[in-house]
Amino acid sequence: RYEHQPFVSCLAGLYGCQWRRYQRARVECGSFGLLILTFFLSFLFLYFWSEAQNDYSDFDWWVTARFAHVCKHTVMLLYATFFTKCANVVQVLAVCLLCEGQRLYLHWSHKTGVVVTLAFSIIATAVLSDLWSKEWKTLLLSLQVTAPFLHMGAVSLMAVLAWPIALHFFRMNKKVRQVGVLGLYLSILFSLYLVPLGMYSPCIKEAGTLGPAPRLIGHRGAPMLAPENTVMSFEKAVEAGGEGLETDVTISYDGVPFLMHDSTLRRTTNIDEVFPNRTHHDASMFTWSELQQLNAGDWFLLRDPFGTVSSLSEMDRLQVQNQSVPSLAQFLEVAAQGGRQVLFDLRRPPYGHPYSQSYINTTLQVVRAHINSSQVLWLPSEDRELVQAVDPDLQQTSGQKASIQELTESHITRLNLHYSTMSEQQISKYQSVNISTNLYVISQPWLYTLAWCAGAKSVTTNSIHILSNINKPLFLMTPEEYNLMWILTDSVSAFLIIVIFTFHWCEDTHTHTLTRTHTHTVLLLS
């Protein structure tokens, strides 16, 4: 007999589009399995993409350089969020139906959406793994700060799933199925309970062992507040509290060191308008007078690389429009006035350039003329011994890890490493011989927190104005606090699961008793 159940009918209508009458007889275990797979893969992709926020700008520029148009990371994130939300909603409906003891029948339109979501998740993950494989290291780093909380969420989810699993466990007629379902569930549950035994996080530290916050070095200035590698950008970085400034130096055709990251001028200037026939020429093949004809700010307002243009004041917008390509001397003057350290990468001019052999000496002369040498973190590795002999006050900085002996023989006092190589043990080892570590480029608070807990001396960042407001690591806790959280989570979930299974066992026993009584009564009446 069909019983009218408004809540179940509503769930069934949303899940299987059966609004008139819920068909209880149809079972589709395959659809539910596909739904679970889609849910986890889409969740993995969304987690991967959300943790990659630190490098969104690099991804946008990579796509722009190869496909000649701007591909906003927000577009992909929007698609990923939409597909994942759809999968989540259908998954919740399925769990609710199972909690009500109902069988599942997924409508064809939902099946299509699930298949599309699954295909998107697989293809997007595969493409990113191939083109952006280094981000998997970022994901592994993120687990060092999020794993304790992901563990709590996973255990809580298993406690919620205990209701439908227990309900269907006691309704199964075959012992083999019962053993299989319960065995799988308990295996996953106990594995989650023991996960913290193999978990490592530098942010789980004894009280009083946390070192000072890493100093902030502006990556090409403050590129979220002004066009990168412009005087305005470096002034904004100083105003925001940056203790150092990082840039990229190239030598012009007539021997003037200037600031430019890319090998060409296309991305950050209006060279298409001023020199339309030379857009693909190397930046170092232009004279200083030609470089001064370019505008280095309009592109920032047009492309809005970090989505921050709307926050600029009208005065800042006008200042952005008047930015030009600065020389190394102008950059050093800003740093010297603010008493900031400077770190720069030096690009060697191409073969045939007038300064291809003397570019280091030319740069070194400008440095010594405009700033105190002790403020300079000298990164170029070419002719390092000669540079050290000419100016021993420079802080020799290496961009590669090496043995302590090799570093000390080269007079290295600091390492400049990509954040993906972050290791608390290595940072501590180098620090023991007074070699500090700078990590680049760190712009997200969670990653800055991880660098702080790992003991980094400084970080190069795009978001000085954000990180300078962080006074304490976000996920810092003592081992005692973490153990309490771990034990409490496992204990509460275990208690709830036992209660749920006991309740359904009592219900099942009561139902069997009523059935036997009813059968016995019918037999007596007969």
pLDDT digits (tens, 9 = 90+) for 441-485: 999 999 999 999 999 999 999 999 999 999 999 889 999 999 999
244 pLDDT tier (thresholds 50, 70, 90): very high
Residue ranges of E strands in 171-238: 215-219
- Among the residue ranges 117-131, 163-177, 321-335, 454-468, the one predicted with the least confidence is 117-131
DSSP symbols for 453-499: HHT-SEEEES-HHHHTT--S-TT-B-HHHHHHHHHHHHHHHHHHHHH
* Angle in degrees, 0-180, between the axes of helices 135-169 and 445-454, rounded to the nearest 10: 110
**Separation CA 154–CA 160 (nearest Å):** 10
Q: Where are the domains of the chain?
A: 4-204+480-518, 215-468
Judge whether 294 and 276 are in contact, CB under 8 Å.
no
Show the CA angle centred on residue 280, arms to residues 347 and 60, nearest 5°: 75
pLDDT at residue number 59: 67
For residues 265-287, average pLDDT: 94
List Cα–Cα distances, 436 to 410, 415, 428, 441, 453, in angstroms.
15, 6, 9, 16, 14
Give residues with Cβ within 8 angstroms of 97, minimum separation 6: 8, 11, 12, 15, 103, 104
For residues 103-126, average pLDDT: 73
For residues 366-385, average pLDDT: 94
- Among the residue ranges 92-101, 276-285, 380-389, 437-446, the one predicted with the least confidence is 92-101
pLDDT digits (tens, 9 = 90+) for 56-66: 777 666 666 55
208 pLDDT tier (thresholds 50, 70, 90): confident
Give residues with Cβ within 8 angstroms of 364, minimum separation 6: 387, 390, 391
Assign domain 215-468 one CATH number from 3.40.50.410, 3.30.56.10, 3.20.20.190, 3.10.20.310: 3.20.20.190
pLDDT digits (tens, 9 = 90+) for 348-373: 999 999 999 999 999 999 999 999 99
Show the CA angle centred on residue 47, arms to residues 46 and 48, nearest 5°: 90
Helices (H), 100-172: 108-131, 135-169
Show the CA angle centred on residue 236, arms to residues 235 and 239, nearest 5°: 90
Dihedral of CA atoms 167, 170, 174, 175 in degrees, nearest 10, equals 120
Pair of tokens at residue 66: 């190869």
15 pLDDT tier (thresholds 50, 70, 90): low
Give residues with Cβ within 8 angstroms of 454, minimum separation 6: 202, 422, 423, 424, 427
- Residue 439's beta-bridge partner residues? 417, 459
* pTM, two decimal places: 0.82
83 pLDDT tier (thresholds 50, 70, 90): low
What is the identity of the amino acid at 479?
P
Q: Hey, what long-range contacts does 80-86 have (CB within 8 A, 24 or more apart)? A: 80/42, 80/45, 80/46, 80/49, 80/120, 80/124, 81/46, 83/42, 83/116, 83/117, 83/120, 83/121, 84/42, 84/43, 84/45, 84/46, 84/117, 86/113, 86/117
**Separation CA 362–CA 366 (nearest Å):** 7
- Residue 395's beta-bridge partner residues? 377
Q: Which residue has the higher pLDDT, 328 or 30?
A: 328
With H, G, I as helix, E, B as strand and everything else as coil, classify residue 436.
strand
Judge whether 132 and 186 are in contact, CB under 8 Å.
no
